[in-house]
Amino acid sequence: MTDRLNTIFGWLLFAGVVALMLRFVMGFIMPDTERPEQLGYVIEVADAGGGANQGPALATLLATGDAAAGEGSFAKCVACHTIEQGGADGIGPNLYGVLGTGIAQHAPGFAYSSALADHGGDWDYDNMDAWLASPRAFANGTKMSFAGLSDPQERANVILYLLQNGGGPALPEPPAEEPAAEEGAAEGEEGVAAEEAAGEEGLEAEEMAEAGAA
């Protein structure tokens, strides 16, 4: 019985040695590769933020805007603001003549939030547009609870209504429109057609000259 057990243990030991040798040899033939942190293929996606269509410029929206439509949108603001000259402050300050004034300096004595008072700058058209888009994004910590106007044209209309009530800086000039690509392509096609026609006329003239010489 003891001899049989010794034989079994001997074979097991032999098999273990063979397995270790095979693993050692296979390590040279097929070295282990490091497992990647992420399985699958990595697909590079271009950042769409910089190339996204931002729509017309604010100056263009102001040039094509409608103060009367802005008055309609301002109805969302009358619960907190007045806009007539000499109007009283409410939850928010009176807004007559606010455009072009210093931020948080338009209504002396009004308790502006520190977030707005510390912002600095003037109520120019860009700042007013950003403020109307999202007061909290413009001045984090402002007391104004209004969520903002997401439509750029609606904001431009409100700005024109503010301009109509108390004036403000001159409106910015809209950017010059670039010529449409289709117009350039059409002009190119016309040029090619003209060159082809000229070439055909030249061939006809040569043929007529050769016929006359004959």
**Number of structural domains in the chain:** 1
Question: Which residue would you say has higher pLDDT here, 20 or 57?
Answer: 57
* Phi/psi-derived region of residue 16, left when phi > 0, alpha when psi is between -120 and 50, beta in every other case: alpha
Give the DSSP H/E element, type plus range, for residue 122: none
Q: Does residue 144 lie within any of the structural domains?
A: yes
Q: What is the pLDDT of residues 191-213, one digit of tens each?
A: 656 666 666 666 565 655 555 55
**Looking at residue 103, which CATH number applies to its domain?**
1.10.760.10
The pLDDT tens digits of the residues spanning 37-84 come to 444 443 343 343 443 457 899 999 999 999 999 999 999 999 999 999
Compute the mean pLDDT over every residue in the chain, rounded to the nearest whole number. Answer: 80
Q: Considering the chain, what percentage of its residues have pLDDT values greater than 90?
A: 54
30-69 CB burial, b ≥16 within 10 A, e <16 = eeeeeeeeeeeeeeeeeeeeeeeeeebebbbbbeebebeb
Domain extent for 120:
56-164
26 pLDDT band, cuts 50/70/90, is: confident
Q: Is residue 5 part of a domain?
A: no
Does 117 map to a domain?
yes
DSSP state letter for 101: S
Could you tell me if 152 and 55 are in contact, meaning their C-beta atoms sit under 8 angstroms apart? yes
